[in-house]
């Protein structure tokens, strides 16, 4: 894909699942990839596996997105190793899933830091250099909950939607500087997160985990779960020169799950 080789990319929450899939695809396309996650052991294992599969070096920086000091430290490490950043792909950890009244103020504070404050800090840090170069790509990984709300997903639905709206505003402000902002609303992807959802549904409905998986699968027109790399392919396209006129969008990739046509 054109325009990726040698470019510097940050992918957050990349120790497993979607973030790891994105990092692997970008590395395979020739990007210099920096990955982060709060779990250093899992992060190191992820980097080793990506390097083994792609033959490309992957840099890692432990970072808890709920802690602004961690975010700033990670950005400093990336800049000291690779200089300016070309692609910022912000993936997030899992927020608390619970009835609204079971979500504490502390839960909200932590989630606001993870979704909004980390996004603001990273974007503000990287934007000025991109503007000087006259090019850059931001891709925010959100969720189907920005398009179709789910019971007990108050944090995810509200804060991920805020990230999508922020992306749209920035796409307008920086369109003439060669910088694009897009977000992705993915459906059910085969990840540890999906496994946790299936286990929770199985317990709630008193069925087996496989039955819980099948119940989710049957609601997807494609009748299958997505693969993390499939999100990576979309991200790599949005980062490429081929997508220069795609800006301010929130793209669904969910096998047809969300029925709303717009």
Note down the domain range covering 68.
8-189+227-253
- Asked, for residue 233, whether it belongs to a domain, the answer is yes
- The answer, yes or no, to whether residue 211 has pLDDT greater than 90, is yes
% of the chain surpassing 70 pLDDT:
100
Task: Please report whether residue 259 resides in a domain.
Answer: no
Q: State both tokens at 47.
A: 């980097």
> What is the structure's pLDDT at 261?
82
Residues 181 and 218 in one domain: no
Same domain, 203 and 176: no
Average pLDDT of span 100-128 = 98
By CB atoms closer than 10 A (0-12, 13-18, 19+), residue 101 is exposed
| More confident site: 1 or 172 | 172
133 plus 238 within the same structural domain:
yes
For the segment 210-223, the average pLDDT, to the nearest whole number, is 96
pLDDT, position 43: 97
The whole-angstrom separation of Cα 176 and Cα 237 is 20
Query: Does residue 2 lie within any of the structural domains?
Result: no
Q: Which residues contact 40 (CB under 8 A, 6 or more apart)?
A: 60, 62
The answer to whether position 16 is within a domain reads yes
SS3 assignment, position 138: strand
Select from 229, 226, 186, 225 the least CA-distant residue to 24.
229
Looking at residue 113, which CATH number applies to its domain? Answer: 3.40.50.720
pLDDT at position 1: 58
Do 37 and 97 lie in one domain? The reply is: yes
Q: Where are the alpha helices (DSSP H) in the chain?
A: 17-28, 40-54, 68-82, 105-112, 118-133, 154-173, 192-205, 209-218, 228-239
133 assigned to some structural domain: yes
Q: Cα separation of 251 and 184, whole Å? A: 5
> Quick one: 121 and 194 in the same domain?
no
**pTM for this model (two decimals):** 0.96
Does the structure show a pLDDT above 80 at 262? no
Same domain for 174 and 133: yes
Residue pLDDT, tens place only, 19-29: 999 999 999 99
Asked if the structure places residue 180 within a domain, the reply is: yes
Reported as a single tens digit per residue, the pLDDT across 142-190 is: 999 999 999 999 999 999 999 999 999 999 999 999 999 999 999 999 9
Q: Give the strand pairing for 8-11 and 87-90.
A: parallel
Same domain, 26 and 70: yes
Q: Are residues 97 and 142 in the same domain?
A: yes
197 pLDDT higher than 70: yes
| 260 within some domain | no
DSSP code, position 65: T
Whether residue 210 is contained in a domain is answered as yes
In this structure, are 207 and 248 located in the same domain?
no
The number of distinct structural domains making up the chain is: 2
Same domain, 116 and 105: yes
Cα distances (Å, whole numbers) of residue 13 to 43, 79, 92, 95, 189: 9, 18, 6, 12, 15
37 and 76 part of one domain: yes
Strand partners, 58: 33
Tell me what the mean pLDDT of segment 40-55 comes to: 97
Domain identity same for 196 and 209: yes
Percent of the chain at pLDDT > 90 equals: 96
What is the average pLDDT across 74-100? 96
- Quick one: pLDDT at residue 3? 80
């Amino acid at each position: 894909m054109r325009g990726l080789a040698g470019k510097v990319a940050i992918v957050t929450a990349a120790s497993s699942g979607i973030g790891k899939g994105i990092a692997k695809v970008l590395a395979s396309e020739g990007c210099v990839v920096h990955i982060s996650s709060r779990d250093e052991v899992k992060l190191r294992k992820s980097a080793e596996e990506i390097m083994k599969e792609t033959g490309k070096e992957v840099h890692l920086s432990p970072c808890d997105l709920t802690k602004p000091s961690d975010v700033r430290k990670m950005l400093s490490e990336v800049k000291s190793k690779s200089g300016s950043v070309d692609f910022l792909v912000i993936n997030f950890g899992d927020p608390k899933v619970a009835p609204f009244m079971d979500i504490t103020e502390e839960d909200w504070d932590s989630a606001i830091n993870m979704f909004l404050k980390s996004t603001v800090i990273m974007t503000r840090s990287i934007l000025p250099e991109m503007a000087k170069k006259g090019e850059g790509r931001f891709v925010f990984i959100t969720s189907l909950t920005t398009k179709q709300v789910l019971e007990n997903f108050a944090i995810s639905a509200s804060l991920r939607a805020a990230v999508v709206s922020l992306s749209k505003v920035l796409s307008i402000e920086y369109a003439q500087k060669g910088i694009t902002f897009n977000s992705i609303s993915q459906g059910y992807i085969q990840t540890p997160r999906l496994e946790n959802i299936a286990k929770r549904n199985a317990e709630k409905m008193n069925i087996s985990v496989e039955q819980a998986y099948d119940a989710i699968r049957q609601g997807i027109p494609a009748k299958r779960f997505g693969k993390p790399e499939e999100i990576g392919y979309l991200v790599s396209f949005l980062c490429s020169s081929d997508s220069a006129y795609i800006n301010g969008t929130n793209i669904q990739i969910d096998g047809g799950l969300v029925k709303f046509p717009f």
